Each structure stands twice: as structure tokens, then as C-alpha cells.
Amino acid sequence: MKVSSIIVTYPTIDHKKEHRFQNLFAMPLEEQLENILERRKNHDLSRSLVVAPSSSVDSSSNDFLGLSRNKILYEKFLNTLITFPHPSLVQKVHDFWMEIHHMPNH
């Protein structure tokens, strides 16, 4: 099959938007940001960060009870962790090895 012509199409340009962006980039940065913020406010698109007091309950985290901030519970946990008798990995491997080798043959 022989191709005799190729049609190339380009996306149309919205000159109104293009002009708006050209004007925007011609301004100083501070003025650009002020205009963008003003536009967001006018279209109800502005956002704000609300920081809750540390005493409030954060139901969106895993610690919604605030246990990580409880000093008494934290100290008890650390003391338990330090004094907890736990076998070393080597001891666990040794015990497992002995258990396997002392099993009767089936």
C-alpha cells in the first residue's frame, strides 16, 4: 500500500487562556501568587490548615487513645521491655534443631 499524503492535526489553542498565562508570568512572583490565591478564594477553592490542640483526640491516627503521649504507660512499657526475659535468636535456632533431631523416625 502506498501512502500519498499524511494529514497532521494540531490541538487547537485557546488564545484567551494563553493570553491569561502570558500576563500571569509577566508579573513578579509575589503578585502572581496573590492573584492565584484571590482566584481560588473567588471560586471557593481556598484551603487552610487547622492544627488541633495536643489534648484533642485524633481519630484519624492509630493512636486515637493518646497512649503514646502517656508518660506513665510509656515508662512501664520501657521497663517491661528491658526486664522481659527473651531467648536470643541463637537459642531459638538451637532449641528448634534439637527438637527436630530428637523426634522419633516414622
pLDDT at 6 (0 to 100) = 53
Quick one: pLDDT at residue 19?
A: 55
Model confidence over 14-35: pLDDT tens digits?
A: 555 555 555 656 778 898 889 8
Distance CA 72, CA 79 (A): 11
pLDDT of residue 106: 43
Tell me the mean pLDDT per 10 residues along the chain, length 106.
54 57 71 89 85 74 72 81 69 71 56
Cell matching residue 11: 490541538
- Residue 64's closest CA among 76, 48, 52, 75? 52
d(CA 63, CA 76): 17
Residue 102 pLDDT: 66
Cα gap 104→99, rounded to integer Å: 10
* pTM, entire model: 0.28
Residues 61 and 52: their CA atoms lie apart, in Å, by: 13
